[in-house]
Structure 1
Amino acid sequence: MVAGWKVAVYVALPLILLCIAVALLCIYLKRRRLRQYTSVKHARGPVTISPSRTSLKSHPSSSESSGTPLAEEFWVPALKSAGGEGSTVELVGSQVQPFSRRRPSMSARLENSSFDPNSEMYKRLEMMKTKEPTIEYAGELHFALHYNRDMGILTIRLIQARDLQAREFSGTADPYFKISVLPDEPRTLQSKIHRKTLDPEFEEKFAFEIPPTDLPNRTIRFLLFDYDQFSRDECVGQVLLPLENVDLSERVELWKMIESYKIRTPEKKPALGDLLLTASYLPTAERLTIVILKARGLENTPHNKRPDPYVKVSILYAGKRLKKKKTSTRHSTTNPVYNEALVFDVGREFMDHVYIELVIVHENRFGQNQGLGKVVLSAESEGEELDHWKSLSASRKGTARWHSLQPLQPD
């Protein structure tokens, strides 16, 4: 028994030592090959795993044309688990990490033409900067022109409009046109107001005196307005027609697109409130009628109490107050309602030179009255006040317009 045990030990011991030596040799060779591949990777770039066989292949670098070739293909089990087939991986030391293929430097892709101001890219940018804004469609206008060269009279026949834009809240509109000849014609003529329609038919004629020599330098302007009884009428469109491009040797009939248009109003001064009024002048009776409808947004008194406002209307001529009248007083309100008509007798010879001054006054029971703001209508006014002045004789009933109050001049 003892002899048999000794024989087994002498046989098994060399085999065990041989296995250990083989295992150590395999570990050594594996580490050596990994170190060799890591050095080659730094010299030649990233590697990929082929879908057909799991092997490492070198990718030549764009910046280096030479390098130590990879010794041979070998199996790395960790690659398959780290990146999967067909993926790109990078080895760092003895670790395997996912790796995204690097793109060339941006400087390598740029060409000199990219910085050339005459290149196509810069031309497209310049076109985008200088491109005109899109014109919004607001309808179409049908009109006719006839010019009498012997008398120097241009007759504009306003026929109809169609496809006008409706108000958002009502689904319809109350359109009318204001017609003028630019740049020297001071008159602005107005058509009749058509109620609740988007396709009004006018059939109205307007005449302007223009010498034949000035005709090519004039432009006809049609301004489309939407009438509002209790606020300012809104300009919603325009048509401009330069006469230098129109042959007026015979009658001309045209359709033109109405372009969407907004009047730019100047920045408002400190808000003092607004006054709604109508004004009309009847030349045959030499009668001027001012109807004070209401006011809104008035300021409180210095003691932070609501005012007791009334409206004082004066007719001024050559710096002198010819006539004055006032409304009744409304108590403790910043939004008074009056609905009062004030009538003045004004001769036609004075009408073109008078000033209509409307002042809202706080009636102070225990001291001096305080002016809250004023509105002046005259031929020298500007903006809405000037437009209202020009429309005095256009309608017997007058047109209701809101006017912003202006500060009073200190005495």
Structure 2
Amino acid sequence: MEVSTLPSLSRQETEGSLEMETAFSNQGFEGNDATDSSSAWSPEEHEGANVLPAHPSPHEPISKCGDLDVIFDYRPSTQKLLVTVLEAKDIPDKDRSGVSSWQVHLVLMPSKKQRGKTSVQRGPNPTFKDKVTFTKLAPEELSTYAIRFRLYSVRKLIKERMMGERFFYLSNLNQEGEMKVTLVLEPRSNLCSGGSQISLSAISHSDSASSNQSLSHGGVPELLVGLSYNATTGRLSVEMIKGSHFRNLAVNRPPDTYGKLCLLNSVGQEMSRCKTSIRRGQPNPVYRETFVFQVALFQLSDVTLMISIYNRRSIKRKEMIGWLSMGQNSSGEEEQNHWQEMKESKSQQVCRWHTLLES
């Protein structure tokens, strides 16, 4: 994605068309922005195919979003896997989630080319009993695949919201008949009401430390972003919360990363930009930095928020890990849904995970 930019932020400040504030100290910011002279939104191309996300460490989830009962029926002779989603239990009740209709999405990882979803069911313990078939799964290749399960809440006239997810690795399959499994869903976004904010302990879990173990997981880079908008004051708050699966493509060590945010007007001109401080040697960095942009209500549907993550290799060298956009020109359906939920949330923060695009 290429956009024309206005080089000077001071011009916009003097015109008063947009303010940018930070809700934290800027001591960690880079003093010299010369390294940002390249096209900020044209991601570098990286070689390499998708790989399977790493198995999670053997620990109990810090918090969970419910249980999902599933039956797996693998048939080696036809290389087919029949997955039956039975029911979900102990999921967020209507008082917390604001909905009572649910749907489960299934995706074969890492290719994401085979997918399916259940019917929409209502109630605190929805029963699905829907079947999804995955094909061309040779017995000797099962260890290279996983099924990602995501539970979505469904509301009328509004796109579904992802509530929790779980991976099932096909290396654990029973190849001699059916096997029933209860999957513990882990939350991937905050719930609807203000009393269900994301757990700080979950965000700052041990995987945020400088751990070489995280270098080989091969997961898709993701970013947890919090959005809120106050229509009365016109304050758009963007919180960079946490990253996941950030890789250093050049050397085998954890990357030094920072996030760059840019607000664009309806014709792609830069209105304001800002950056997080650098997180050094962390494949799963915790940022917890908030930026506030001043955007009038009538402008909210015409602006685009661009977020990119960079690996700073040296003072004058950087490489883009990935990017996403929300607003008028959203980079995907989940980003568009997140922006819409923010507009409807009445100043409450809405947090969601987003997969970073690499091209």
TM-score by length of 1: 0.38
Report the structure, 1 or 2, having the larger helix content.
1
Report the structure, 1 or 2, having the larger strand content.
2
TM-score by length of 2: 0.43
More relative contact order in 1 or in 2 (CA 8 Å, sep 6+)?
A: 2
